[in-house]
Amino acid sequence: MNKRYELMEREQELLEEIEESIAKGGDDRHGGDSLYGFCARLVRTVPQADDGFRKRLGNRLVAGMREGAVHKEDQGVSERSKGWRVPSLRRLLPQALMPVTHLGWAALLLGLLLTFSAVGYAVAPAVGRLFQQEAGLQHVEQADLVQELDLSQTVNGVTVTLERAYADANRIVVGYRVEGPKGRHYDERVTLTEDDTVFPMTTGFGTRGQSDIYNVSLPPGEGAYVLSFDASPVEGAPEELDLRLTMELREIVPPTDTPDSSPGSSSDPAEPMVVELEPMPQEDVVGTFAFDFSVPFIPGRVAEVNQTLEAAGVTMKLERLVVTPSETRAYLRFDPPTEVETSWTSIVTLKAPGERKSREYFYAVADDSPVHIYGFPASLYERRGEWTLTVAELVGTELVPPYEDVRLAGPWVFRFRVP
């Protein structure tokens, strides 16, 4: 037996306690501060669905089963147009709704109508605090690499303030606030461009109102957000980027006539199944905001690795590593041979010089064979010397029924120097 996996006696006891705790629904006889007490606390902290949702979905499944074509008919229920349930009120990571050219033209035309006022604005702590939530952004914040912008525009009673921006060879980050009347909900479709170049959005997060988790307290009707965009389309190493952030803001108007969801929820098959259809919320366009701004560009360090390894019958190439103050990216190339079309991703870890532990990748910038780009948002900019990137395993999902998972164990271990 692999000694690494041999469980110590105490761990075995813990496993047994876990089983017991789960079976008893969170019995806390060991006290809240003990490890067992903590497990019991975890067991007791179980989110519960809205009963109406549970019943409606159950009815929908049964009705669909009877019709024999549930999923083919609806192609899923989330934010799609069948309108049988209320979709998310606010997506934290909105995708551009229209082609960029449309947005660009819309911004240009609507921009003439906007009440545009770039005003000096004291940096609210909310966006700054959001920058503290991720190691890479925390570093650029501490290194004073963030460009303060404080550009505000007001359209139809809603003010958007583009507070700050940062750009390096891996990503461009913007932080902004949206202020509207209390009780209103908005959805932003954000596009970042430089001339004809569009930067795809990669990650983002934000908060509205009060968040005890991040110690951010905003007045009602106000939200703060941070979005990251893929900067790899930037060519060369310009001193700065001249960017345009276009934001189409829509107000989400909840349905005014929501049917009672409680009837028709019986699981008795003798009763006719009634699928409650809730009206979709409306989206009213508030306006389009367009911010033009410049931000210094940090080119980062590029290690051209071009190492090729083979394991499990798969040839894998680590082409390069791009290290910037906010993130490190690994560019891998592999395309395992398969009989059926398969989507591949991998389990990748990176160890920089002086680090005690490897770190797992945070997100995939691209994960479509043969190009796989993995991002590690962390402060590794000053690390020089021998790095190790390990691909432990390839994980594939077949794209045809029965959608089996395929796993190919490596490892592929790349060792290389980053100057």
Tell me which residues in 226-265 interact with another protein (CB under 8 A).
none
Helix axes 35-44 and 9-23, enclosed angle (nearest 10)? 30
Contact 394, 344 (CB under 8 A): yes
- Minimum CB separation of residue 387 from another protein in Å reads 19
Residues 141 and 129: their CA atoms lie apart, in Å, by: 10
Contact 369, 311 (CB under 8 A): no
* Nearest C-alpha neighbor of 165 from the set 189, 187, 192, 202: 192
Q: Tell me which of 61, 100, 135, 371 binds another protein, using CB under 8 A.
A: 61
- Three-state DSSP class for residue 84: coil
Structure tokens at 145: 């690499």
- Minimum CB separation of residue 1 from another protein in Å reads 7
The verdict on 97 binding another protein (CB under 8 A) reads: no
- Minimum CB separation of residue 235 from another protein in Å reads 24
The verdict on 93 binding another protein (CB under 8 A) reads: yes
| Range in contact with another protein (rule: CB under 8 A) among 42-50, 138-146, 240-248, 316-324 | 42-50
| Range in contact with another protein (rule: CB under 8 A) among 7-15, 111-119, 169-177, 293-301 | 7-15
The verdict on 57 binding another protein (CB under 8 A) reads: yes
Rg for the chain (alpha carbons), in Å? 25
Peptide bond into 255 cis (omega under 30): no
Tell me which residues in 348-387 interact with another protein (CB under 8 A).
360, 363-364, 367
The verdict on 100 binding another protein (CB under 8 A) reads: no
Which sign, positive or negative, has the C-alpha torsion 361, 363, 368, 370? Answer: negative
The verdict on 198 binding another protein (CB under 8 A) reads: no
- Minimum CB separation of residue 35 from another protein in Å reads 5
The verdict on 280 binding another protein (CB under 8 A) reads: no
The verdict on 74 binding another protein (CB under 8 A) reads: yes
Q: Which residues contact 138 (CB under 8 A, 6 or more apart)?
A: 131, 132, 379
Tell me which residues in 385-414 interact with another protein (CB under 8 A).
397, 401-403, 405, 407
Q: Tell me which of 92, 275, 311, 413 binds another protein, using CB under 8 A.
A: 92
